[in-house]
Amino acid sequence: MNLPEFCIRRPVMTVLLSLSIIIAGILAYHGLPIAALPSYDAPTIVINAELPGASPETMASAVATPLERELSAISGLAVISSTSLLGMSAITLEFNQNHSMDSASIDVQAALLRVQPLLPVEMTAPPSYSKINPAEAPIIHLALTSPSLPLADLNNFAENLISPAISTLPGLAQVQINGQKRYAVRIRVNAAALAARNLTMDDLAAVLSTVNANSPIGTLDGPRQTLTIQANRQLDNAAAFANLIVATTRGNAPVRLSDVAQVEDSVESIKSAIWINGERAITLAVQREPGTNTVAAVDAIKALLPELNAQMPSSVRLKLLSDRSVSIRDAIHDIEVTLIVTILLVILVIFFFLRNASAILISALSLMLSLLGTVAAMQLFGYTLNNISLLAITLAVGLVVDDAIVVLENIVRYVEEGMPPLQAALRGSKEVSFTIVSISVSLAAVFIPVFFMPGVIGLLFHEFAAVVGIAVLVSALVSLTLVPVMASQYLTVPVKVKEGGVKWQGWFERGFDALSGAYEYALDRALRHRRIMLGVALSTLIATVVLFMVLPKGFFPSEDTGQAIITVEAVEDISFPAMIHVLQQAEKVIRNHPAVEILSINATNSNHARMFVTLKPRHERPHIDAIAENLRRDVGAIPGIKIFISPIQNLKLGARTSKSRYQYVLRSLHSDKLHQAADKLMSHMLKDQHIFRDVSSDMQLKGLQARLNIDRDKAGLMGVEIDDIRSALYSAFGERQVSTIYAASNRYKVIMQVVAEDQLDESAFGDIHLRGKNDTLIPLSTVVTVEREVGPVAINHTGQLESVTVSFNLASGAALGDAATRLNQLKQTLQIPESILTSYAGDAAAFQSSQMSQIVLIMVALFVVYVLLGVLYESYIHPITVLAGLPSAAVGALAVLWIFNIELSIIAMIGILLLIGIVKKNAIMMIDFALDKQRNAQITPFEAIRAACLLRFRPIMMTTVAALMGALPIALGLGAGAELRQPLGLTVVGGLLFSQVITLFITPVIYLYLDDVFKN
């Protein structure tokens, strides 16, 4: 007794088990989490170190280098890179995909403890680390504004209320407060007034460092009571510090701090600012840990916002600026709509071909059961509802119904011949059982190589392969269990059109009969001219190779998420006020664009600033690429600045931050050669406007510096130590922290520097005095001379070598493969020396590694299918017959991409892989029937394959059209996130259309040819 017969004999069992699967699938669907893509993140950790006032060279040599040496010894580390700027260094660690984040965190913490003694003593805070990817955009942006409260108060709410509350939520790595205005007392020293009272900057710093000590004093223990000793309360504001006596004159007159300095209530960072649509604000950027579900994290944050708003004054507004889950939800919603449309189209196909209400109901039920069974399995394996998994489910609609169609059509054929439904179900299901197993198992086997794909690409498509494979196997099970049961019970109405029936049914049947007759005529002609058909088959193979070579190669299609990051770059020696001026000009242009809804500007003490743009809903604006082109033109017209626009993508690989999406890294021990090579490369890339856009680099070497040349002999004779010079300069110009205010809930800095008038140019050094011999004051200008020079604004390392990262976007119509080819040509043309190591990073690196793996993937998939079919048929020849039609499918897929000017991306390659599984089912249906006829009816191969082609023409047409309808809504590219899905839909539609015409004739010809070869 076979499986269909067993289920037909036990209908109650079959129905109840099917009902259980339906209920499990419904419950699982509502319980599946929502995400943009399957989890693909590698563990990434960022270490931040700050030393205010230190030059980039000092940060690189004294801070970044010792940290890199210690951190590079951590096991599982894939990439280490660093950026050193004025007063800060950031070191990024990227670990292998299979490395544990917890293990990496422990190793990093231990390394930081070991390296602490090697760092400068002026670092008041040790390096900190965060489990974030710095290159990934925040999942949500919040803004704090108030018409009445100062920014310092808003910062207090952000730092002490909002950030701690959000940070406790699971899966969040960091809540970064931008435009931070933490309270600080700022002491602006008048160097001339200080010298007039025989004081130096270091004298003043030494006094201030002791006034707010927070050390324990002790207790008094009496016979009955214990008293805790407390000294005077701390100085907690500018007024208290201003009245402080810092010295006495020779006449014992007190010198108060206000006599030699301006003391003001200020903030720590006076050279940073945030604007939200022109309004000053404090923003909070929330970043997730690698692997965290974005939608779930955003939902948790939003649920917390009402509680946070209730704890703040009514004048404070906590606003949502950007939410990356919006584009994800829109994409998921639209693909769910696509899924519903696809199901309706497939059911419509069945209705047209079978014209039987019972058959349609059975097919629809089997389709629903297959999909819900797949969803239940997704819940079991811990998958999510994302663009990739839902894309797999949508495509599976046209595949899972195939099995039901094959079984049902065979049963209906016997019912049409007058056989009772029960007998028809028993006989029809038994005949095609092996065919169903062959089709389903071989289709699922196509995706076996995907599970062995290394790296990020493998992680992304494991879920796609698993979902399609599960859906196909579940549909095979349903087709051999529930479908025969339902057919035996309810398939009682004849499907032939009766007299007086609906006219269109007659038209359709007559039209299909005419099509069948035309196919029979064409088939006979093809079988008589076998050499011509073999030539056609060979030409499709050649055309496949040619089209594959000609088509531009790409990575992942760019998505329109409605958000973008704009980097505005000015000259490297620009001052903060001048930078604010050009940013306000850029802001005016960008906000005037009709598609821009929210513009957030983050200005820091550097020559570049980042803007976060949230666009209006998709139906109210053009595509983001068109908007980016307009903004490049309009903002680029402002003199003195460059603009770089990067639309935010759900897929962001690597942890290297850059102004554009794709990255090319140059590394070398020789700085001069490295910089020359990078300059030459960029200058040539800028000329290739048809390929590269937004070409930039992290190389910044033209910052203006004032170099002090110390006369060591003279300084020694005057009793001035070199370290005293350095310390005095840091006290005057380094925003030195000289004291700390200890509050109940936080601690605040007391910062010392010279007055603003003494920071304008080199003449300020003349007012700085040092303590020399016999307690005399020595002007700094006595022992030093000053000269201006050009120096680096940033120093970057990759793998402990100095590096330059050249980043770029692609011009309209250009593919990443074109860019990679051109970069290789430029490397040869410019004769970049071998001492300079070059490599890709981020998305470009993943693209490069995927190029060879894609070809290997297709070849391995073909081999797996060949082996499996060989095992099933116990033949070396028949699997070749089945696979012979695949080149025609590839030609159709590649031709459609070429016609629509779409690059051959990884998504499109997955579509071609899927075609391998879809197209071979036509050949399997023909060959199974032909082999059965040869064995049982004792007829010639020619008669067997001809009969098989004619008899299986209807199910072949039904399954192919059903698969077409399953892919057509995806190919149309409608809805949010359609850019990601469309290439796959186009390849499936194009491959099916072309292969359907070819394989109906090539397969029988090759069957006969190989049969003759095998006999000979």
Domain boundaries, given as residue ranges, for the chain: 1-31+356-497, 43-132, 183-215+233-267+703-784, 498-550+875-1015, 563-702+800-846
Amino acid at residue number 406: V
Which SS3 state, helix, strand or coil, does residue 123 take? coil
Nearest Cα to 94, choosing from 650, 799, 850, 843?
A: 799
Nearest Cα to 892, choosing from 489, 515, 532, 547?
A: 547
Q: Quick check: 754 and 747 in contact, CB under 8 A?
A: no
Rounded to whole angstroms, the Cα distance separating 303 from 168 reads 13
pLDDT interval class at 506 (50, 70, 90): low
pLDDT interval class at 652 (50, 70, 90): confident
- N-terminal to C-terminal alpha carbon distance within the chain: 39
Tell me, what's the pLDDT at 492?
A: 62
Say whether domain 498-550+875-1015 belongs to CATH 1.20.58.390: no
Rounded to whole angstroms, the Cα distance separating 991 from 50 reads 57
Q: Quick check: 649 and 565 in contact, CB under 8 A?
A: no
Which SS3 state, helix, strand or coil, does residue 255 take? strand
Rounded to whole angstroms, the Cα distance separating 135 from 658 reads 8
Nearest Cα to 869, choosing from 941, 913, 928?
A: 928
Q: Average pLDDT of 307-333?
A: 87
Q: Average pLDDT of 325-330?
A: 83
DSSP state of 448: G
E-strand stretches of 222-272? 226-228, 245-248, 254-256, 261-267
E-strand stretches of 155-239? 172-178, 183-189, 219-221, 226-228
Rounded to whole angstroms, the Cα distance separating 174 from 168 reads 10
Exposure of 900 in the CB half-sphere (CA atoms within 13 A): 20
- pLDDT exceeds cutoff 90 at 762: no
Tell me, what's the pLDDT at 675?
A: 92
Compute how many other C-beta atoms are within 10 angstroms of the C-beta atom of residue 217. 9
DSSP state of 681: H
Nearest Cα to 92, choosing from 571, 700, 663?
A: 663
- The partner residues of 557 in beta bridges, in order of sequence, read none
pLDDT interval class at 453 (50, 70, 90): confident
pTM as predicted = 0.80
Rounded to whole angstroms, the Cα distance separating 699 from 570 reads 13
- The partner residues of 590 in beta bridges, in order of sequence, read none
What would the two tokens of residue 975 be?
A: 């809805």
- pLDDT exceeds cutoff 80 at 649: yes
Share of the chain above pLDDT 70, in %: 98
- pLDDT exceeds cutoff 60 at 589: yes
**Each residue's pLDDT tens digit, 484-505:** 998 888 876 544 444 444 555 6
> Residue 223 burial (CB < 10 Å; 0-12/13-18/19+)?
exposed
Tell me, what's the pLDDT at 1016?
A: 58
Task: Name the H helices within 357-454.
Answer: 357-381, 387-416, 421-445
> Residue 130 burial (CB < 10 Å; 0-12/13-18/19+)?
middle
Rounded to whole angstroms, the Cα distance separating 410 from 564 reads 55
What kind and span of H or E run contains 741?
strand 736-742
Q: Average pLDDT of 418-446?
A: 85
More confidently predicted of 978 and 661: 661
Tell me, what's the pLDDT at 856?
A: 82
Report the alpha-carbon angle 34-38-39, nearest 5: 105
Strand order in the sheet with 282-288: 172-178, 282-288, 140-145, 317-323
Q: Average pLDDT of 26-51?
A: 85
Rounded to whole angstroms, the Cα distance separating 323 from 471 reads 33
**Each residue's pLDDT tens digit, 169-212:** 988 888 888 888 889 999 999 999 999 898 999 999 999 988 88
Compute how many other C-beta atoms are within 10 angstroms of the C-beta atom of residue 1. 7
Rounded to whole angstroms, the Cα distance separating 468 from 831 reads 48
Assigned fold of 43-132: Alpha-Beta Plaits (3.30.70)
Which are the contacts of 555, defined by CB distance < 8 A and separation ≥ 6?
A: 816, 843, 844, 846, 847, 850, 905, 906
Which SS3 state, helix, strand or coil, does residue 43 take? coil
Rounded to whole angstroms, the Cα distance separating 508 from 492 reads 22
Rounded to whole angstroms, the Cα distance separating 305 from 320 reads 10
Exposure of 821 in the CB half-sphere (CA atoms within 13 A): 11
Tell me, what's the pLDDT at 498?
A: 44
Provide the Cα torsion 404, 407, 410, 416; round to 10°: -60
Rounded to whole angstroms, the Cα distance separating 257 from 259 reads 5
Tell me, what's the pLDDT at 477?
A: 92
Compute how many other C-beta atoms are within 10 angstroms of the C-beta atom of residue 166. 21
Q: How far is CA 105 from the centre of its chain?
A: 22
DSSP state of 830: T
Question: From the DSSP assignment, how many helices (H) and strands (E) are in the chain?
Answer: 34, 31
Nearest Cα to 409, choosing from 925, 29, 988, 993?
A: 925
Tell me, what's the pLDDT at 500?
A: 45
Instruction: Please tell me the CATH code under which domain 563-702+800-846 is placed.
Output: 3.30.70.1430
Task: Name the H helices within 32-162.
Answer: 56-58, 65-71, 101-115, 151-157
Which SS3 state, helix, strand or coil, does residue 566 take? strand
| Listed range (384-388, 484-488, 619-623) with the worst mean pLDDT | 384-388
What kind and span of H or E run contains 783?
helix 780-783
Q: Quick check: 91 and 50 in contact, CB under 8 A?
A: no
Q: Average pLDDT of 129-145?
A: 86
Say whether domain 183-215+233-267+703-784 belongs to CATH 3.40.30.10: no
Residue that the structure tokens 């990434």 belong to? 44
Amino acid at residue number 194: L
Rounded to whole angstroms, the Cα distance separating 989 from 338 reads 15
Report the alpha-carbon angle 156-161-166, nearest 5: 130
What kind and span of H or E run contains 694?
strand 692-697
Which SS3 state, helix, strand or coil, does residue 658 take? coil
Assigned fold of 1-31+356-497: Multidrug efflux transporter AcrB transmembrane fold (1.20.1640)
Tell me, what's the pLDDT at 499?
A: 45
Q: Quick check: 777 and 769 in contact, CB under 8 A?
A: yes
Tell me, what's the pLDDT at 504?
A: 56
Which are the contacts of 822, defined by CB distance < 8 A and separation ≥ 6?
A: 685, 688, 691, 692
Q: What is the mean pLDDT of the chain?
A: 86
Which are the contacts of 176, defined by CB distance < 8 A and separation ≥ 6?
A: 138, 284, 285, 286, 287
Report the alpha-carbon angle 983-986-987, nearest 5: 85
Q: How many angstroms separate the Cα of 832 from the Cα of each of 137, 263, 700, 836, 928?
A: 34, 55, 20, 7, 60
Tell me, what's the pLDDT at 71?
A: 93
Q: Quick check: 800 and 80 in contact, CB under 8 A?
A: yes
What would the two tokens of residue 30 be?
A: 């509502």
Which are the contacts of 91, defined by CB distance < 8 A and separation ≥ 6?
A: 46, 47, 49, 64, 67, 68, 71, 80, 81, 82
Rg value, the chain, Cα: 36
Q: Quick check: 669 and 801 in contact, CB under 8 A?
A: yes
Q: Average pLDDT of 582-595?
A: 92
Which SS3 state, helix, strand or coil, does residue 938 take? coil
One fold for 498-550+875-1015 and 563-702+800-846: no
